[in-house]
Amino acid sequence: MNRPVLAANWKMNNGPTMSREFMQAFLDQYPRQNDRTILFFPPALSFAAVADAIDDRRDILLGVQNVHWEDQGAFTGELSVNMARDAGARVILVGHSERRHVFGETDEQTALKCAAAERSGMTPLLCVGEKLEEREAGQASEIVVRQLRAGFSGMKQLATRDVMVAYEPVWAIGTGRTATPEDAATMHGIIREELKELCGDRARVTPILYGGSVNPGNAASLLRSENVDGLLVGGASLDAGSWLAIAKA
């Protein structure tokens, strides 16, 4: 996976019709690139529309926003990792702050989901990050390290498997507040050092993305920060022009 990795998380936005229109507008102006990877996380119902639009563009990957950790069963409304892989997904978003703080996803559940991704041969993108009160209490690094260790604790071959991490300070998501490039570099450095403990030399090539009110105006400066290997983008990825600017940053 070429770095930087620029990931668009559409959350609960863009149905199939809007997704087709978005992809046509984006792809018309975004030729194949070999020096970066573009990654889309569309809603489940729009996944097929985005996959059809991408076709054979190997520089663009698809992921799913959430999965259940069981391979199959009576779990109404859930998707399994095997279903996601069969549909063409390569990456699974795990532990996004909204899953943690809106839907109550626990560290234990993120571990089960990362382990399920490993079983299926898919790449987990584990999200970690602190809330404002935790940051102000001086607990930011403690929270991030705990989430990182817990999320990957169920993987049996972490030293040889592809994983990704996204640092998303909860206080900077959808608030218009953004961590400075220096803030991002510091926390990404902590994550990189922790990854060395968990997976050895593979930590050097593990992409660590920043996510938190990323926009076309700050994308380039964030990408220049040490240990920032990409961006996880929410609201600014919903407009084709805005996302195009970030994809070219």
pLDDT digits (tens, 9 = 90+) for 42-68: 999 999 999 999 999 999 999 999 999
Q: What is the pLDDT of residue 212?
A: 87
Q: Which fold has domain 5-239?
A: TIM Barrel (3.20.20)
Q: pTM to 2 decimals? A: 0.96
Q: What is the pLDDT of residue 118?
A: 97
Residues, the chain = 249
Strands annotated E in the chain: 5-9, 37-41, 60-64, 91-94, 123-128, 164-167, 208-210, 230-233
What residues act catalytically?
A: 96, 168
125-169 per-position pLDDT tens digit: 999 999 989 998 999 999 999 999 999 999 999 999 999 999 999
Q: Where are the domains of the chain?
A: 5-239
Is residue 172 over pLDDT 90? no
Alpha-carbon distance 48 to 29, whole Å?
21
Percent of all residues in the chain with a pLDDT value above 90, rounded to a whole number: 92
**88 contacts: CB under 8 Å, gap ≥ 6:** 47, 51, 62
